Structure 1
């Protein structure tokens, strides 16, 4: 797809190189091995829209001052038929280019030709990528961290797909191991208390205390009575755990679908144990010499693996020794495999069985200590986890209501869950706000999220789209529709040019969002696009303007509408036509 910013950079670089070759051919500049210098958009575009450091970079090789080189380039440069109307020297030898009508028209033509795929590219074509996100324990309601991780993962997956990748969204269901044992025991005690009275059995200190556990016990009792009272402890706990999961998992799926998140795969941890894949993975580590037995348990030589991992990264030996590296248990003395063993097996499955080129996990920042251990274990298995596994660590969420910290739901009096949140604010507002830069702690103001004014960024952006749709409807009643063609050279004002430049910037922001694993690039781009449109709409009349000018401006307004719609869709937000 067309990226007019990249096209302009490529053309400016090619023009500089062609001018050098012409200057060298007639002896103005000496022949030498010179490289194409990067072309950038300067922070202040008053002196030009694009700039190259070609003359500065070539000064040493050519043995001449940069400004002399730059002048020679200018003297041998032909801008006819290019995106640029002029080029000039600035500062110590920068070469600045000014954009002309051809480039601005090219941006608008690209939007009109490509429509709903405008902004996409094929930079990741051929890559099979998994994004695993949320993966909340199915032992209770989803919290604010899950709400944030859900949007980050889902939007990042959309961004990677927009760059041509074959993307799969996955939820890892922790339906085995210690937390499920604790879940089963918690429901069991509440179930027995229902039958025999609260004093009949003490609730475990490390049990799950929430009201949701009591509700599950009661739901089972209402359906099955005291049928498990005389069953063995194992049978009773297995039955109650399965019942709890049968209630909680569909509830999670419903909440996530309400949140516009749809997974390609729900992968169950239990399948790894039942198939023997965890045992096989641990055996493979043993065969490769990465395990040892101690106190009846099987340990992984994590410290040795990490030393090797950090050496490859170029860390100094003295710094590595300061890290206090420790080994990990893979199989306990009782024969049960640890969560870490299952996690290694799960990630081995992603690469070795399902063939993903790249795996991206969205984790809470509290998991940072687990990142190098997991990557190192995959390296030890020969799967190159250091390169192929990427972890996005997201910081905590602070909920506010009009500036005051909120921890409890008004409705339930309990910690606010994703379900509670979506009862308070729109799904669009939640998705917009949680699609924030992952590595910064975010504040989500419930009061701001429902405001209908320009202070609320999601309202501001959606309003820009609705405003354009309203304009198109009003003009249609006058018998005026968006023209097939228009004289786009009439869009010569500052507000018009700024709006077209921001439309072009959208293509760049998708690339940056994929590169940085930071889909908030899209939010910032859309906010600026909405601001540019509102400024354009204030400065440039359409209704009542001279017909040719009105036609060109109407086309620009409609192009803006298309890009706003594309961007909002990318982050899973509606583009309303009325507000």
Structure 2
């Protein structure tokens, strides 16, 4: 019996009790679904639910009275071995061994689909993440968003949402001018401007710009007048830098559906259209020669200038146009991932959302990620040799590889600052969490390989009642949690829940492996015990592979 099947059985029992008048609940007050969870202690059964406490008040009965009524009916459901009422009205449920063990076959036959749900079916979500300025390599904060953002996109898709991964290409504004001046200065053998960019990558890009132009038969851009030279280095340099960024992200298993150019908002008139829309809605006013958005009406701490007195658009003007563009493209939700230095943006962005008539934190969500520190030999890694000022994606991948980098960045809540121990992540020990999980997967494959060599075939028998050892009950319990974990991680925007779940699953598998054999020993004959355990082994392999896939991490067959 899967958790979903037990949930459906509980819902049917509650519906029947309402229909019979045993639980006098209005029909429209019956919850659409009943949640079941693992109790903290296995002594309290396999599953627990607080549905009786949820509906008791509307039913006009004490929670324990409702729980007793539901328990009596639930005990009659096939596959349920025992139901106990505990505390103020919890239902603790134990399923029989065969019903619990049947999950192994369900998982194997479902394959890659196991764990996927339709919890967010019908939602169109625009997920914007990384969006690093094309003025240098992706720093470690952006790498964290690459790992977390792509994992979140996979989770949202696994729960039925239609997701568009979007990269906001900041190619408009002062930082691009500083980048171009820095390239030109380095190409001419000069020091970078005081407000410019340093690092070896500037010299590399500058050299590539010159090589690119001369290969096209164009003159060396360093010989051009300053304005013309700067424009060449801006256009070609930004393109080269962004091409490199996309290549590095692709190698990190992160690809985007849309690369949206900030400059297009200003060139297409999108900014003017957004301002006009807000003006029609009565949220725009003029003062001191500037155009303002009255964001204080929507909870912001002060009103915001959107068109400055010199006629130039303020930065928030681009945000207005960009948000409106996303909504006009048909997205129900726009989720934006921002760095730790963007906390001050939240109030104005939510006010902007409300000004357009939308619901903050529903149509617009903002996730703020905290800092990442790298540690090697017990000391913090301060900067990149290539970038000169920050640790980059190359530094991390070169040190530990893509799998360890992605997993370690996704396994902690984005609300928390994390320290990544590069020495630990490069080791093949159980203390390294990604190795621990990947090794469990490789072990399941090796067990299946050895079983095949000794003639143990799943197809020849399956008796779930034989999965009666405590380690098997614990392993099945973990396997049954995948769908709930995936749904919860997607709804809460917390991919780290999947990583922590996989570590618990790996632990349960290793304990089972130590105590139960899949293959016959010595002259022992192959029986249904071996075959049924192989089903459980292969179900674990499938869940580990599915979970790792949601994090963009490989599931190796040998280690």
1:406 matched to which residue of 2?
381
Given that 1:8 and 1:83 are in contact with CA atoms closer than 8 Å, whether structure 2 keeps it comes out as no
Distance 1:58 1:464, change over 3 A: closer
2:324 matched to which residue of 1?
348
> How many pairs are equivalent?
546
Which one is further off, 180-189 or 446-455? 180-189
1:282 matched to which residue of 2?
275
Distance 1:88 1:285, change over 3 A: closer
Answering whether residue 202 of structure 2 is matched by residue 213 of structure 1, we say: yes
Distance 1:287 1:14, change over 3 A: closer
1:44 to 5, 18, 41: 41
Q: For 1:157-196, what aligned pairs fall within 5 Å after superposition?
A: 157-191=153-187, 193-194=188-189
Given that 1:39 and 1:50 are in contact with CA atoms closer than 8 Å, whether structure 2 keeps it comes out as no
1:135 matched to which residue of 2?
131
Distance 1:16 1:350, change over 3 A: closer
1:570 matched to which residue of 2?
550
The 1-side partners of 2:10 and 2:41 are apart by: 18
Given that 1:23 and 1:73 are in contact with CA atoms closer than 8 Å, whether structure 2 keeps it comes out as no
Q: Kindly state the Cα deviation for residue 280 of structure 1 after the two structures are TM-superposed.
A: 2.2
Given that 1:297 and 1:332 are in contact with CA atoms closer than 8 Å, whether structure 2 keeps it comes out as yes
1:428 to 403, 428, 431: 403
Q: For 1:18-417, what aligned pairs fall within 5 Å after superposition?
A: 18=16, 24=22, 40-41=36-37, 42-53=39-50, 76-77=72-73, 79-191=75-187, 193-194=188-189, 198=190, 203-221=192-210, 223-224=213-214, 227-228=220-221, 231=224, 233-306=226-299, 325-352=301-328, 354-409=329-384, 415-417=390-392
Q: Which runs of 5+ in 2 are unaligned?
A: none
Q: What RMSD over aligned residues (CA atoms) do the two structures have, in Å?
A: 2.8
Given that 2:137 and 2:387 are in contact with CA atoms closer than 8 Å, whether structure 1 keeps it comes out as no
Superposed CA offset, 1:221-263 (max 9, x none) = 4555975457554433221111111210110011001100011
1:8 matched to which residue of 2?
6
The 2-side partners of 1:78 and 1:219 are apart by: 72
Superposed CA offset, 1:329-369 (max 9, x none) = 222333322222112111111111x1111111111121121
Per the alignment, in what secondary structure is the counterpart of residue 518 of structure 1?
Answer: coil
The 1-side partners of 2:480 and 2:61 are apart by: 37
Superposed CA offset, 1:244-296 (max 9, x none) = 11210110011001100011111111111111112222233334333333444
Q: Kindly state the Cα deviation for residue 129 of structure 1 after the two structures are TM-superposed.
A: 1.0
Per the alignment, in what secondary structure is the counterpart of residue 282 of structure 1?
Answer: helix
Q: Kindly state the Cα deviation for residue 78 of structure 1 after the two structures are TM-superposed.
A: 6.1
Given that 2:340 and 2:369 are in contact with CA atoms closer than 8 Å, whether structure 1 keeps it comes out as yes
Per the alignment, in what secondary structure is the counterpart of residue 77 of structure 1?
Answer: helix
Distance 1:140 1:46, change over 3 A: same
Q: Kindly state the Cα deviation for residue 395 of structure 1 after the two structures are TM-superposed.
A: 0.7
Which one is further off, 79-88 or 483-492? 79-88
The 1-side partners of 2:58 and 2:455 are apart by: 63
Q: Kindly state the Cα deviation for residue 205 of structure 1 after the two structures are TM-superposed.
A: 2.4
TM-score, normalised to structure 1's length? 0.86
Distance 1:528 1:203, change over 3 A: closer
1:476 matched to which residue of 2?
452
Per the alignment, in what secondary structure is the counterpart of residue 97 of structure 1?
Answer: strand
The 1-side partners of 2:501 and 2:484 are apart by: 10
Q: Kindly state the Cα deviation for residue 539 of structure 1 after the two structures are TM-superposed.
A: 1.2
Which one is further off, 411-420 or 225-234? 225-234
Per the alignment, in what secondary structure is the counterpart of residue 82 of structure 2?
Answer: strand
TM-score, normalised to structure 2's length? 0.89
Distance 1:394 1:303, change over 3 A: same
Q: Kindly state the Cα deviation for residue 128 of structure 1 after the two structures are TM-superposed.
A: 1.1
Given that 1:482 and 1:558 are in contact with CA atoms closer than 8 Å, whether structure 2 keeps it comes out as no
Given that 1:348 and 1:383 are in contact with CA atoms closer than 8 Å, whether structure 2 keeps it comes out as no
